[in-house]
Amino acid sequence: METSYQKLVPQTTNKLKVCWHWLIAIAAIALIAWSFTDMDFGGIKASAGQIAGAIFKGIFHPDWHYVYTGDGEDLVSELWETMCIAFLGTFISAIISVPFAFWSAHTKYKRWWSARLGKIVLAVIRSFPEIVLALMFIKAVGPGSAAGVLALGFHSVGMLAKLFSEAIENLEEGANEAVTATGGSKWHIMMFATLPNLLPALISNTLYRFDVSLRSASILGLVGAGGIGYPLIIALQYRQWDRVGIILLGIIVMVVLVDWLSGWIRARLV
Amino acid sequence: MAATTKPMIECTKVSKVYPDGTVGLKNINLKIAQGEFVVIVGLSGAGKSTLLRSINRLQDITSGEILIAGESITSARGKALRLLRCNIGMIFQNFNLVKRSSVLRNVLTGRIAYYPTWKTTFNLFSKADKQTAYEALQQVGLADKVYSRADELSGGQQQRVSIARVLAQNPQLILADEPTASLDPQTSRKVMNDLKMLNEKYGMTVVANLHSVALAREFGQRVVGVRAGEIVYDGQMSDTPEAVFNDIYNGGVGKGVAQS
């Protein structure tokens, strides 16, 4: 059969749209240039070279004796404490996050303003940096790991509940409908269809959050909220660069190991 | 039974207009008696699914009324609505199982409306109901899969699990929304045979949307043709000439133009 095909016509370009793209690009570059003008650069100190040398020497000659001393204030026990803070903080926030996520998920089972309100609450929680929260909790429960756990637990809810609620919104409606059709209530829908379907996303996001929390827990000690951050800031203040070196090395090893482990678990969750 | 005197489903002047202005159903009047096996045929987008989903109120209708065994589902709220739905089983095109749960738990989902909420939350199904679920699985030939995860099963098996779910629910009415649309021809016939079994053995009323004319002719006792949201044909299958199907699928106003 004889067929004549049509010629491909070039995509029509919208002049106005092109202009807009250019304008946005120019504005972005101008903004970057402008932000440079407000930077106060006072020059390099005379002793900079010497200090930089000391830092490098220390970091590349770590203080191996600090790794394990047995008195509970060595690298291994401090890292362990950091990990515990991150774990407990994440665990607490994961549990708090579930009701928050259902509140702020935009589903057809509730009014739009309810979800909107939930999202605003989460944004407020998220906007408190964990360091600020840690300082506040130190005032409340005293310095130490409890303040760190509470700060992480509270801060993580903002992000974790947002991720959870997005997972709820992306769920397929089918299983929910099937439960509705058998005469189930909203609670039944949640228990029998939504939660089981949601579980992989919950676990995967929680593991991801644990990775992030671990990094946060490493610096919470800087303000006295327990963990590896405290010995790190002491070593920095006394200029014990070899100790700083071993602590940084320890953090790196811990983060890499946990990253690898949680990636492995997440890959198996399907 | 009192229910036998009243039609299983009675739609009176049912219309549905979607929020975007699309007309889903136009002035539908339909009576379906208890024990009938009704197939609804029509092109995609003709309103078959809308009609079916209105019957158990997965969708609200804009005007009119639907009675289920004499009780209005249109005005039912809360617990009353759930009790009415409890008497209506539904089978979906995409099976709609909870894929990560076991087959047994999926079948038990059919029983949840019979329990207080707190009991189902802690998975406290009675031994009798677990046995009922297992027997339902035996009826559809999936007894050996009882503890498998639902997503380990093939499409046809999943659809039969959803039939077992309906069997466990033990309703008087079954709505099947394109039950075979995602299955191959052999599996389709198996699934339709299961539906026929529910109809003949348990006297459940079956209303099925079907794409396939062959399946409709083989299993339906009564045909309802739907086009553009309206019922254009209603009759017993044995009195229905082939021309009616041609008309429903190809005829009408500008429908089915691109057929080769």
Q: pLDDT truncated to tens, each residue of chain A (270 aa)?
A: 667 888 888 888 888 889 999 999 999 999 999 988 877 777 777 788 888 888 888 888 888 888 887 777 788 888 999 999 999 999 999 999 999 998 998 877 677 888 899 999 999 998 888 889 999 999 999 888 899 999 999 999 999 999 999 998 888 888 888 888 888 888 888 888 888 888 888 999 999 899 899 988 988 888 888 888 888 999 889 988 888 888 988 999 999 999 899 889 888 876
Q: Would you call B97 and A177 a contact, using CB atoms and an 8 Å cutoff?
A: no
Q: Residue B94: name the closest of A193, A195, A175 by CA.
A: A175
Q: Is residue A217 part of a domain?
A: yes
- Sorted by sequence, the CB contacts under 8 Å of residue A166 that are 6+ apart come out as A105
In a domain, A216, yes or no: yes
Give me the domain span that covers residue A89: 72-269
Whole-model pTM: value is: 0.75
What does the alpha-carbon distance between residue B127 and residue B130 come to, in Å, rounded to a whole number? 5
Q: Which residue has the higher pLDDT, A38 or B194?
A: B194
Does the beta carbon of B163 lie under 8 angstroms from any beta carbon of chain A?
no
A187 in any annotated domain: yes
Question: Which token pair is B191?
Answer: 């699934």
| DSSP 8-state assignment for residue B57 | T
Question: Which pLDDT value is given to residue A4?
Answer: 83
Using N-to-C axis directions, what is the helix angle for A241-268 and A75-104, rounded to 10°? 40
B152-184, pLDDT tens digit by residue? Answer: 898 888 988 999 999 999 899 999 998 888 888
- Which residues from A are below 8 Å from B77, CB to CB? none
CATH number for the domain harbouring residue A246: 1.10.3720.10
B residues 78-97 lying closer than 8 A (beta carbon) to A: 82-90, 92, 94-97
* Alpha carbon distance A168, B101 (integer Å): 17
B205 touches chain A (CB under 8 A): no
Chain B residue numbers touching A197 (CB-CB < 8 A): 98-100
Instruction: Provide the token pair at B259.
Output: 């057929």
| Among the listed residues A226, A210, A209, the one whose alpha carbon sits nearest the alpha carbon of residue A218 | A226
Taking the CA of residue B246 and the nearest CA in chain A, the distance in Å comes to: 28
Type of residue found at B149: R
Cα–Cα distance for residue pair A175/A250, rounded to 1 Å? 46
| Domain membership flag for residue A130 | yes
Q: Which of B88, B101, B149 to mutate to test the interface with A (most CBs of A within 10 A)?
A: B101
Query: Is residue A8 assigned to a domain?
Result: no
Report chain B residues whose CB lies below 8 A from the CB of A200. 100
Is residue B58 a contact partner of residue A177, using CB atoms and an 8 Å limit? yes
Contacting B with CB below 8 Å, chain A residues are: 174-175, 177-185, 187-188, 191-193, 196-197, 199-200
Taking CB atoms and an 8 Å cutoff, what residues of chain B touch A187? 117, 121
Nearest CA distance, A210 vs chain B (angstrom):
24
ipTM over cut 0.90: no
Please check whether residue A122 lies inside any domain of the structure. yes
Contact assignment for B109 to A200 by CB distance below 8 Å: no
A175, two tokens: 């299983």
Q: Which of A188, A196, A197 comes nearest B112 by C-beta? A: A188
Number of compact structural domains in chain A: 1
Looking at chain B, which residue has its C-alpha nearest residue A196?
B100
Size of interface A-B (CB pairs under 8 A): 78
Across the interface, do B100 and A178 touch by the CB < 8 Å criterion? no
Nearest by CB to B112, from A177, A184, A200: name it.
A184
Residues of A in contact with B109 (CB under 8 A): 178-179, 182, 184, 192
Task: Indicate whether A123 belongs to any domain.
Answer: yes
Which of A173, A182, A269 is the best residue to mutate to test the B interface, defined by the most B CB atoms within 10 Å of its own CB? A182
